[in-house]
Amino acid sequence: MATSIARFSRRGVASSLIRRCFAAEAALATHTDPPKPKLTVSPSPSPDRVKWDYRGQRQIIPLGQWLPKVAVDAYVAPNAVLAGQVTVWDGSSVWNGAVLRGDLNKITLGFCSNVQERCVVHAAWSSPTGLPAETLIDRYVTVGAYSLLRSCTIEPECIIGQHSILMEGSLVETRSILEAGSVVPPGRRIPSGELWGGNPARFIRTLTNEETLEIPKLAVAINHLSGDYFSEFLPYSTVYLEVEKFKRSLGITV
């Protein structure tokens, strides 16, 4: 009894949901708004636009012939977005909310590197140095949370601090550390074995030998952590069961 009432009430709500989320299969949505005269040309919304898609955002977005390639043991968080020419090599990890947009140029994430939460890695079409403007993150690099990388080259075994901004053409040489919040101007080269930081990035001190030995250890530690996360996910998602249940409840043939 209660379930049938629930089913009927859900059908009432669901009928508007049908139009919204299954626009491709069912009738078009009839959502119209009175135009607000605030802009010079008021936007004309399309009735086809869905307000939310039950599929969410795809993790891997191919563009034309480019398909992002993820190694089999690399962990890419489900809400990370890889688009275009992106290659994620073995043992590396891309954490939550990161956006790796390789639509203008290539992005490579090397062995055992990690791109932490909410980073944006992009590649410009051309770089002011004239060198190829792809973003290359070599092996054992830790890119801290919320950083922005654009057409930069990061050589092996570096640490990029959190919320740092690396602009076009910058080069971070091997075994260097960038402090959190540093802004590296376009074309800047951070020499090997040094600690730089600030906005704009300035030399702070050289790194001791012990510190340079710690750098790959950090990357490996994060690699182990990503292994835990990787094993949390089934090889294939079982959401299709939910989708079938959902469609069945809305009366759409599966």
Partner 1 sequence: MGTLGRVIYTVGNWIRGSGQALDRVGSILQGSHRLEEHLSRHRTLMSVFDKSPLVDKDVFVAPSASVIGDVQIGKGSSIWYGCVLRGDVNNISVGSGTNIQDNSLVHVAKTNLSGKVLPTTIGDNVTVAGHSAVIHGCTVEDEAFVGMGATLLDGVVVEKHAMVAAGSLVRENTRIPSGEVWGGNPAKFMRKLTDEEIAYISKSAENYINLAHIHAAENSKSFEEIEVERALRKKYARKDEDYDSMLGIVRETPAELILPDNVLPEKTTTRVPTTHY
Q: Which residues bind partner 1 (CB under 8 A)?
A: 24, 33, 35-36, 38-39, 41-46, 48-58, 61-65, 67, 79, 81, 83, 97, 99, 101, 103-104, 118, 120, 122, 124-128, 130, 146, 148, 150, 163, 165, 167-168, 183, 185-187, 199-200, 232-234, 237-239, 241-243, 246
Output the smallest distance, CB 214 to partner 1, in A. 27
Residue 109 to residue 87: CA distance in whole angstroms: 6
Tell me the β-bridge partners of 211. Answer: none
Both structure tokens of 24? 């491709």
SS3 content of the chain, % helix, strand, coil (to 5): 20, 25, 50
Nearer to partner 1, 21 or 219 (CB): 21
Cα dist from 140 to 52, 63, 170, 231, whole Å? 38, 28, 18, 21
- Residue 186, classed as helix, strand or coil, is coil
Kindly give the pairing relationship between strand 99-109 and strand 75-76: unpaired
Nearer to partner 1, 206 or 242 (CB): 242
Enumerate residues 6+ apart whose C-beta is below 8 A from 227. Answer: 73, 75
Tell me the β-bridge partners of 165. Answer: 148, 183
Output the smallest distance, CB 125 to partner 1, in A. 5
Output the smallest distance, CB 224 to partner 1, in A. 20
Nearer to partner 1, 117 or 211 (CB): 117
Output the smallest distance, CB 17 to partner 1, in A. 11
Nearer to partner 1, 104 or 204 (CB): 104
Nearer to partner 1, 213 or 227 (CB): 227
Output the smallest distance, CB 71 to partner 1, in A. 17
Output the smallest distance, CB 51 to partner 1, in A. 4
Q: What is the DSSP letter of 236?
A: S
Nearer to partner 1, 171 or 215 (CB): 171
Nearer to partner 1, 25 or 213 (CB): 25
End-to-end CA distance of the chain: 26
Residue 73 to residue 227: CA distance in whole angstroms: 8
Residue 63 to residue 210: CA distance in whole angstroms: 44
Output the smallest distance, CB 39 to partner 1, in A. 6
Q: Which residue has the tokens 């030998």?
A: 209
